[in-house]
Each structure stands twice: as C-alpha cells, then as structure tokens.
Amino acid sequence: MLETIIQRERDFGTPPSTSTQMLRVTVDGTEMTVPSGTSVMRAAAQAGINIPKLCASDNLEAFGSCRLCLVQIEGRRGYPASCTTPVEEGMVIWTETPKLHELRRGVMELYISDHPLDCLTCPANGDCELQDMAGVVGLRNVRYGQDGANHLSDPIDESNPYFAYDPSKCIVCSRCVRACDEVQGTFALTVDGRGFESRITAGQNDSFLESDCVSCGACVQACPTSSLIEKSVIDMGQAEHSVITTCAYCGVGCAFKAEMKGQEVVRMVPWKDGQANRGHSCVKGRFAWGYATHQDRMLKPMIRSDISQPWREVSWDEAIGYAASELRRIQNKYGRDSVGGITSSRCTNEETYLVQKLVRAAFGTNNVDTCARVCHSPTGYGLKTTLGESAGTQTFDSVMFTDVVILMGANPSAAHPVFASRLKRRLREGAKLIVIDPRQIELVDGPHVKADFHLPVRPGTNTALLTSMAHVIATEGLIDEAFVAERCEPVAFEQWRDFVSLPENSPEAMEAETGVSAAALRGAARLFATGGNGSIYYGLGVTEHSQGSTTVMAIANLAMATGNLGREGVGVNPLRGQNNVQGSCDMGSFPHELPGYRHISDDKVRQQFEQDWGVTLQPEPGLRIPNMFDAAISGSFKGLYCQGEDIVQSDPNTQHVAQALAAMECIIVQDIFLNETAKYAHVFLPGSSFLEKDGTFTNAERRVSRVRKVMEPKAGKADWEATCALSNALGYPMNYSHPSQIMDEIARLTPTFAGVSFDKIDELGGSVQWPCNEQAPDGTPTMHVDEFVRGKGRFMITKYVPSEERSTRKYPLLLTTGRILSQYNVGAQTRRTPNVVWHSEDLLEIHPQDAEDRGIRHGDMVAVASRAGETVLRADVTERVQPGVLYTTFHFPESGANVVTTDSTDWATDCPEYKVTAVQARLVTEPSQWQARWSRFSDIQLGLLAQRQGQQDGLAADPTPASVPQTAPTPQPVVAASQD
Ligand code: SF4
Ligand code: SF4
Ligand code: SF4
Ligand code: FES
C-alpha cells in the first residue's frame, strides 16, 4: 500500500463539509446522501463520477473559473459549475449529456488555442491535468489557430533554485494563488490583469526569488500543468515509483511521497494522507534533500591513532574492531565509567534505542545522553512533574479548534513551517493570538495575520512573565474552579494560588523586570482565560534558559488553572526542533531513564530490561553531556561514541567542548559528513541518510511515523547496522535482521509503546500516536482526557530566579539565538543544498539605536564578546529586535555563535541557556581569533574531501577541487578569549 507505482492521489474537487445535516441527492441516476454544504462536484466524486475540472482541487476553496465542470440540474436553468454549486435536498444532477460534452469541448478548445502543443517534450507529459482533460472531453480538433494574440513566448522565470515558472503553459486557473493564500498563508502570488491579459505574478511583478515566496512548493503541487514545475522533474523526467516516508528535518514530521527513478529521488511530494502535514510541506522537506547525495558525503570508515595524524580509510571490520578495542582498552585503564555515548535526534527510534542499549548493556554504564539535553529536556522535566507525561498533549489538527493561542519562545514560520501554516489558517478564521517573544516574529504582524498581543519579554524573564499572568487570572476570579477541583491536587493548587496572588508577582511589580507593560500583560491574561479554547505552543525560547524547567511548569500551571487540557483545541504543545527529538527522549537516551521515561533506579523496571537483555545494569544514573565534558577535562572520561550529532557546533561554549574532546583518547563519530566534531575523532563511521534506512521517527505530537528505505545505504551499512556491529565486536551480541524487530523489542519493554509495530503503523495509515497499548490500541491523539497521567494535576510554585547572565557594564547587551526557515540546526544538511541562496551566513540582528551607539551600519562586521568567547558576525540593523537585545542564528560553523554562549544551564536538567548571553558588540574589520583558527583547520578538511573526489560512486562531482593535504594539524585546546 505504501510503495506504489506513480499515480495521482484521488481529488474530490472541493473540501469536505463538516456539517452533520445529511441531504439526499441523485447523481446520474444514483441516489445518495451527503452532508449539507457538499458541492455537486464532490457529491458526484463520492458516487465515483469524476466531473472534468481544472481550477478545482479538494484542498482549496472552490473558485469556479475554468467552466469545465458544468452540469445540468433538473428544474434549474443553464449549466452551473459543479464545484461552486452546493447540493440541495432532492437535487437531481446530470453530469454527462451531449450539451455538456459540447460546452466542455468548447472550453478546452479555447485553452488549447493559447497553449504550446509540445506535449511530447513537455516535462509534465503524463502528469498533466490539461492533457488529461483534453482526453476526457474528447477534444479532436481546435477551431482557433495560434496565430492571434497569445502568451506562447512569455519568458520563463527560473530564479527559484527548485522550480521554474513558464507562463506560456499557464491556464490562469489560480490554483497556485489560492494554494499560496489558503494552504501556505504567504500571499506571495496574484493574478495580474484581466481577461486575456491575466497573468500570474509573484509580488509586485518580481521574480519568484525576489518576491515574498518562501518556496514551500504548494503552488507547484497545485499547478495542473507544467507552468510551475520542479527543476528536478525537468532534468530527470517523470518518476516511476514512489515510497511513503517521513521528513528528516523538523519535529512537525511531514509525510512525503518520495518519487523515484530506480534509486534516484526525482522529487518529494507531501503526502495528502499524512496526518501531521495533510499534504503540505516547507522548502526543507520538499526541496532540500540533495545533501543526501552531496559530494561531501563520507562513504568509507576511517581511523587514526591520534587527531594530529591524517585519516586512514579502512574496511568496516577494521574500523569497528579498532573502535571496540580502544573502548575496552580505555575501560581497562580508566574504569568502566570512563566511556559513554550520545544518541541522535536525527536518527530513527530504532537506532537511538540501540545506542542507549549499547551503552548500558555493552559498555556497562549509564553514561548516555542525547541532544535533547540541549533543547527540550526541561519540557520532559516540567510536564512530567505537573501532568505526569513528558510530551505534548495534542495533535496538530487540534489547532483548528482553538480560540486563543499563546505562542511563546517559538517562531514556527521559520522552525515549524507546516504547523505555522495551519496556525495562520486558524488565525485567519478568527482565533486570537498572544505572542510572547523578545523579537517581532513573522506572526506578530504577517500577511493577513496580526497578533492581538505581542509581549516582547526581556530574555531570561519568562518565568516572571507567566507568573504575573497567573496573578491576573487568580486575582481577577478567572480560574476555572470546576476543572481545578475535579482534576488537580487541592493542596498544591491552594499553595500556588497564594503564591501567584502575592503583590510582588503582579504585572505592575514585574513590569520593570520583564520589560512588558502591565496593561498589555493584563489584557493578554484576560484574553487567554476568557477567550474560549486556549492552547499554548512553545519552543526553545522557553526551555533554553536557566529557568527552563520552571517556565514549562508555569505553562502547565496556566493551562490547568484555565481548564485548557484534555480536549481538542487546547493543551500544552512543545514544538520540537529536530525530527526525532521526541523519539530520542522516549527511547531512553537520558542517563537516568530507560525507554518510556522509567527511572534507572527502579528495581522492577531495571530487572525487566536485565532479563530481556541478559546483562546486569547499573542502578545509578550516568553522566549528562555537560558532565561528560567536565569529566573529560578533569581526566576521568576518555571515550565517546557520538552518533549523528555535531556537539562541537551545536553545544554551548564551543571552546569548552573542544577542550573536552581534545582531552579524550577515543572519539567515534558516526555521521554522513565529516562534521566539526570529527576534527577531534579517532574513528569515523560513515552514516546513512533517512532515505537509506527503515525505521520510525516520533514528531512533536507523539506521532510515530514510518521512515522507509528508498535507496541502499551509500556506505554499505545503515546506522543501526553499524551499532550492532560495534556491539558484537565488544562481545555483546546484537543480531537484528530488520528494524521492525528492534521496534518489537521496544514494544515488549515499554508500556507506552506496547501496541506499536510496523504492521500496526501501516494498518493505521502510516502513523500512530503513543501511548499505544491495550488501553489505547489505536493510539492517543489527545492526552489527559479524563484524568492526568499522574492522576491529579500538580500545580508547582514557579518562583522567579533571575538568570546569572545579566547585562553588566562590560556586557550591556543580551544575545539570544534562533533559526531561519531555509537552514536547519547546525546547517550540515541545508548548507549543502541550494537553500544557501536565501541564507548564506549567520547575521547579527541589532536594533538601530544600539547600532548607532556603536557606529555600526547595516552590513558592517561586528565582534560579539561574552565571558565565554568572541566571534564576528555581519550586522543586520533591524527593529525586529528590541533595544538591548541581539539575535543571531547558528547554522554556519564559521559564525561560531556558540563560541559566545556560556555554560549556564537550567537548574533541573542542565539544558544550556542558549537564549540569554550577556555580550558587548563593537565594530571590527577582521574575523575573531577563533574564526581564523577554524578557517585554517577547515581548509584541511576541505582538502580531504577533495582527495576523495571522483572516488565515490553515486555522488555529485566536486566542481572546485582543492589541494590534497598530507597531514592534519593538532587542534589545540582552545583557550577562552575573554573572561568576565
Ligand atoms: S512556493 Fe509557496 S510561498 Fe512560494 S509562491 Fe508557491 S505557494 Fe507561495
Ligand atoms: S501557474 Fe499553474 S496553477 Fe497557477 S494559474 Fe497557471 S496553470 Fe494555474
Ligand atoms: S515542516 Fe518540518 S517536517 Fe515538514 S517539510 Fe518542513 S522541515 Fe520537514
Ligand atoms: S473546476 Fe469548476 S469551474 Fe473550474
């Protein structure tokens, strides 16, 4: 079912009606009932009758422009368009009559008279609705020639790196315009001119690249001809088969049809039945998959005895054997706990599970952690403490039932674009929006969307702000007393109410600290408490703080106090950054928790794993990532297996990380590229991309979706196979023949996954939301429906403790970090795609006032210094940031944003405080010392890549060969550039 020959998905022409009132109609003699509000076209389609159409599509509102879908209705004059005509009780409809045939042929003749007749050489040949309709209406000749006025020589717009717009093929059906408006919410396209002069234009007659287009591809997907078409289809021709899989970028977890020719991807088409994305996508998942075959892919295992030595390519057996012997040597010399592992939030659940199993069972230690440590670990802690489960409470669909949204510390238009499109659609329908963010993100004032409140909170004061919101709700009688009485612990609630009601927590008292006006905060609190279904969506701007866990608990408090949990349209929704960050947490990647968030010290749970795995497990939690670094520097932690995670670039205080890695004796890096961490590695195991393996990812909705192999692993092994090989070499057997067996083991050992299997996921149409077990055999779309997972909800006191990272005379500005749409995380994938056309370097956003005070102009180079280090970025002078706040992204290693971030962490989870760093900024003309060192070192890496050029089959050729290095330099432990 999920691997098919290419075929267009069924299109019912107009969206379904949600009405419960049923009407009786007859279509071509067939009697049926359909919901009131259904179009005649859709009713016919439901009866198996496909009325010819060109401008209609069931993901867009009916428009009625092409006049091809005409029908006859008994008792009505004329020939109404079936897409814009709703059914009525007792309606009798005829879709095929001689008159209708004649009218439709006439319409098609007009279209074809202004259309190039080059079907045989057209890239859409075989996948063109205009071509199909010509056949359907029986077009045999065209009475009008092409000699008159036409658009056949209009110039093609090829500015977008991924798709082309050929106006000569355009039939002005407006599907692209409506897709951009209704589905994507960007409003980048218009129909310019009238009648024959009508043309589709991007922006103010700009090219697609210069316009507001965000390259989501919705218009390309909507286009019935080849007017808007992927350049990959132009280059490669039509695909021959397709496989349903899941995007490997963000935590939305969009389902895609990978359309293939043999083992080559022709295009990725968002899957209409995908339950997370409902047929939509963003530029990353839709187009930025070329990194998987980029020439920089590392396809051979490599080893070296010392990081000052050059790499030596070896066989898989030799690399695995060397890694195993080094790990055992280190353990024999320094003790069992001198080694550990880091799992990846980009790898599958099955791979992540295996890495933590390897560390616990084969290494014999609990020193395993994951990159969720540096992003959403406070979500796990905060939600588990208050509600009893470490995950978001809703489906993405739920946002369509919300009335008021709090969006806090998240910028979904950039980081979770498909969710952003759903949210925008709901906002256009009338839902209210409260944005809590230091920056003016797009949703504050975007196309057809305007926040009702923007609370520009000062970085580091989230807890204070939410507590004062709770103050308003508690002191103005806005608590949902019935919900609280029925669902929450009474004593904890009373203590919380007393706490938030204290005068020092009022908006007026907190105003100076948070920078948010008391009046605006009171207005926002009242709106949230009284505006109907209230939902809270938040991101790393909440968690990556010294009080990240406290703020998550404040969010849960707010939801409980207002009764906004346990049904559609409400809830607490962490927007997860990476594709499988939810899954890597679920799979037991934390040093204190086995799969399913069960504490390692729980004897009963541990014994269950011991029996299944046939080993004795350590009852004490192991080291977290920051502890591993500290232990490495102090000499007790010497070996690390790091799968699919570039800790040098992504973790804070780069110089501290580099110092730790340089002190270790064996670092095994497994990645698809020679990343920054590999500079400190002794063993390199080539990784596999998401296209090369089977498994599952779990998105922010707890949705476990299938990842399906569309091509063989380019390096010969999928990541899970490499982990098994390492385990076997260490003497702990792991012999799975397919990832489905790993999932079966996960299900056997994890109560929330007890019902999950690859077969079950297929049976449910491609995904299932955990918990999935005997109590919830088809999964759990909404959590905490009748009671919280922990029984009664627990209000927590959220005392505001100011961040130690405060502006001082020396460091008067606060730097905060985030993402941009076209790039992803450390950029390892997106930097190797044409996405760099939109964002080729990390910029420093600075308010005009702060810039002027320092003589900085737009585009100048600016040194940003903190107590941890210094880097240089190009200035973007903008009012998106408020005075006193700087903002940058961290997608490019040479920017070194994390050279500046400090090692301040969340009090409960050690999640780094990326979002608050006290800094100074000054105008400079040269890169920082750190960047100069980085650049020299990277030249060597580039040389190594050039050396491999032409040696690897199936990868793109290197257009810019570089010199081949004979040796690599010793990376010096880097000393902090400046100290406060
Ligand atoms: S690619 Fe997306 S944003 Fe760009 S014009 Fe098409 S629908 Fe609009
Ligand atoms: S570009 Fe395609 S979708 Fe847009 S109006 Fe023209 S034919 Fe229709
Ligand atoms: S929204 Fe996220 S999951 Fe969906 S296509 Fe974009 S990057 Fe992929
Ligand atoms: S499909 Fe109905 S008017 Fe175009």
Across residues 829-851, what is the average pLDDT? Answer: 92
What pLDDT, on the 0 to 100 scale, is given for residue 147?
66
Whose alpha carbon is nearest atom 7 of ligand 2? 170
Query: Residue range 646-653: average pLDDT?
Result: 82
Checking if the pLDDT of 961 tops 80, the result is no
Q: Which atom of ligand 4 is nearest to the CA of 56?
A: 1
* Separation of CA 164 and ligand 2 centre (Å): 12
Give me 358's structure tokens. Answer: 């390897």
Residue type, 941: Q
From the alpha carbon of 64, which atom of ligand 4 is closest?
A: 3
Please, where are the H alpha helices in 461-571?
A: 462-475, 481-487, 490-500, 507-514, 518-530, 540-543, 548-561
- How many Cβ atoms from other residues are within 10 Å of residue 765's Cβ? 14
What is the per-residue pLDDT for 940?
A: 47
Tokens representing 224 are 């019935």
Residue 418 CA, closest ligand 3 atom number: 1
Nearest Cα residue to atom 6 of ligand 3: 282
pLDDT tens by residue, 674-687? 998 999 999 999 99
Containing H/E element for 816? strand 813-818
Name the residue of 177, 204, 216, 418 to mutate for ligand 1: max ligand atoms within 8 A of Cβ.
216
Closest ligand to C-alpha of residue 184 is 1
Ligand 4 atom, smallest distance to 82 CA? 2
Helix, strand, coil in percent for the chain, rounding step 5: 35, 20, 50
284 CB near ligand 3 (under 6 Å): yes
Q: State the closest ligand 3 atom to the C-alpha of 416, by its place in the atom list counted from 1.
A: 1
| Residues near ligand 4 (Cβ within 6 A) | 53-56, 64-69, 81, 83
Indicate if the pLDDT at residue 245 is higher than 80: yes
> Is there a cis peptide before residue 621, judged by omega within 30 degrees of 0?
no
**pLDDT tens profile 850-865:** 999 999 999 999 999 9
Is-contact 15 61, C-beta < 8 A? yes
CB of residue 796 inside a 6 A radius of ligand 3: no
Ligand 3 lined by 747 (C-beta under 6 Å): no
CA distances (Å), origin 108, targets 14, 129, 141, 150? 21, 12, 10, 15
Among 215, 286, 287, 835, name the best residue to mutate to test ligand 1's pocket (greatest count of ligand atoms within 8 A of Cβ).
215
Widest pairwise Cα distance in the chain: 93
Concatenated DSSP letters of 39-82: BHHHHHHHTT-----SS--TTS-----S--SB-EETT--S--BT
Q: How far apart are the CA of 943 and the centre of ligand 4, in A? A: 58
Laid out side by side, the sheet with 3-5 consists of 3-5, 241-246, 255-261, 264-270
Strand, coil or helix: 890: coil
- On whether the CB atoms of residues 259 and 268 are closer than 8 A, the answer is yes
Lowest mean pLDDT among 127-141, 208-222, 719-733: 127-141
pLDDT in tens, 737-767: 999 999 999 999 999 999 999 999 999 989 9
Instruction: Work out the angle between the directed axes of helices 603-613 and 739-749 (0-180°, nearest 10).
Output: 150
Confidence of residue 976 (pLDDT cuts 50, 70, 90): very low
State yes or no: pLDDT of 890 exceeds 90: no
Lowest-confidence pick of 569-583, 748-762, 892-906, 959-973: 959-973
Separation of 162 CA from ligand 1 center, angstroms? 12
Contact 62, 87 (CB under 8 A): no
pLDDT of 953 > 80? The answer is: no
Protein residue with its CA nearest to atom 3 in ligand 1 = 213
Q: Return the minimum-mean-pLDDT range out of 220-229, 344-353, 447-456, 965-974.
A: 965-974
> Is 90 exceeded by the pLDDT of residue 642?
yes
How buried is 733 (Cβ within 10 angstroms: 0-12 exposed, 13-18 middle, 19+ buried)? exposed
Is residue 279 within 8 A of residue 270, CB to CB? The reply is yes
pLDDT at 979: 25
Q: Is 278 in the pocket of ligand 3 (CB under 6 A)?
A: no
Question: Do the Cβ atoms of 370 and 585 come closer than 8 Å?
Answer: yes
Q: Label the pairing between strands 870-877 and 843-846.
A: parallel
Q: In 3D, which of 894, 854, 860 has the Cα closest to residue 875? A: 860
Q: Residue 55 CA: which ligand 4 atom is closest?
A: 4
> Which residue in 348, 392, 375, 419 sits closest to 705, CA to CA?
348
Say how many Å lie between the CA of residue 161 and the centre of ligand 1.
13
CB 534 within 8 A of CB 567: no
Ligand with minimal distance to 255 CA: 3
As beta bridge partners, residue 807 has: none
The ligand 3 atom at the shortest distance from the C-alpha of residue 250 is 2
- Please indicate whether residue 929 or residue 645 has the higher confidence score (pLDDT): 645
Least distant ligand from the CA of 128: 2
Residue range 639-662: mean pLDDT, rounded: 89
Residues near 89 by beta carbon (within 8 Å), at least 6 away in sequence = 23, 24, 25
**What span, in angstroms and rounded, lies between the C-alpha atoms of 268 and 799?**
48
Confidence of residue 937 (pLDDT cuts 50, 70, 90): low
Residue 803 banded pLDDT, cuts 50, 70, 90? confident
Q: Count of residues for the chain?
A: 980
Contact 254 CB / ligand 3 (< 6 Å)? yes
For residue 901, which amino acid is it? Answer: T
Collapsing DSSP to helix, strand or coil, 821 comes out as: coil
> Ligand 2: residues whose CB is within 6 Å?
170-176, 200, 222-225, 227-228
For 33, 187, 617, 713, the CA distances from 22, given in Å and listed in that order, are 6, 35, 60, 52
96-103: Cβ within 8 A, 24+ apart? 96/28, 97/72, 99/72, 100/70, 100/71, 100/72, 101/137, 101/138, 103/67, 103/70, 103/79
Ligand 1 centroid – CA 157 distance (Å): 14
> What is the distance in A from the centroid of ligand 3 to the CA of 276?
10
Q: Which pLDDT does position 1 carry in this prediction?
A: 44
Token pair for 912: 């780094």
CA of 80 to the centre of ligand 4 (A): 10
Mean pLDDT to the nearest integer, 546-557: 93
Q: Which of 460, 622, 455, 424 is nearest to 550 (CA)?
A: 460
pLDDT average, residue stretch 895-915: 77
Instruction: Mention every residue, 6+ apart, whose C-beta is less than 8 A from residue 502.
Output: 471
Stretch 455-460: mean pLDDT = 92
pLDDT in tens, 268-279: 999 999 999 999
If pLDDT is split at 50, 70 and 90, which confidence band does 936 have? low
Query: Which ligand has its closest atom nearest to the C-alpha of 413?
Result: 3
* CA separation for the pair 349, 578 (Å, rounded): 13
Q: For atom 7 of ligand 1, which residue has the closest CA?
A: 180
CB atoms within 10 A of CB 656: 23
> Which residue is closest in CA terms to ligand 1's atom 4?
213
User: Ligand 4 test: best mutation among 60, 65, 174, most atoms within 8 Å of CB?
Assistant: 65
Atom 3 of ligand 4, residue of closest alpha carbon: 64
Q: Supply the DSSP string of 343-379, one letter for each residue.
A: E-SSS-HHHHHHHHHIIIIII-S--EEEGGGGTTHHH
User: 450: CA distance to ligand 2 center in Å?
Assistant: 29
- pLDDT at 977 > cutoff 70: no
Does 980 score more than 60 pLDDT?
Answer: no
Which residues line the pocket of ligand 1, CB cutoff 6 A? 179-180, 184, 186, 188-189, 213-219
Instruction: Evaluate if residue 673 carries a pLDDT over 80.
Output: yes
What's the whole-number mean pLDDT along residues 691-719? 96
Which ligand number lies closest to the CA of residue 182?
1
Region 827-838: mean pLDDT is 90
CA 154 to mean position of chain CA atoms: 38
Least Cα distance to 474 among 500, 508, 492 occurs for 500
Average pLDDT over residues 184-192: 94
The mean pLDDT of 10-34, rounded to a whole number, is 95
Q: Residue 931: pLDDT above 70?
A: no
Q: Which ligand is in closest contact with the Cα of 289? A: 3
Q: What separation, in Å, do the N-terminal and C-terminal C-alpha atoms of the chain show?
A: 61
Query: How far is the centre of ligand 3, averaged over its atoms, from the C-alpha of 307 (Å)?
Result: 36
What is the average pLDDT score of the chain? 90
Which atom in ligand 4 lies closest to the alpha carbon of residue 62?
2
399: which 2 tokens? Answer: 């946002």
CA of 167 to the centre of ligand 2 (A): 8
Residue 283 CA to ligand 3 centre (angstroms): 8
- Contact between 715 and 298 under an 8 Å Cβ cutoff? The reply is yes
Helices (H) and strands (E) in the chain, counts: 30, 37
pLDDT in tens, 484-537: 999 999 999 999 999 999 999 999 999 999 999 999 999 999 999 999 999 999
pLDDT of residue 16 exceeding 80, the answer is: yes
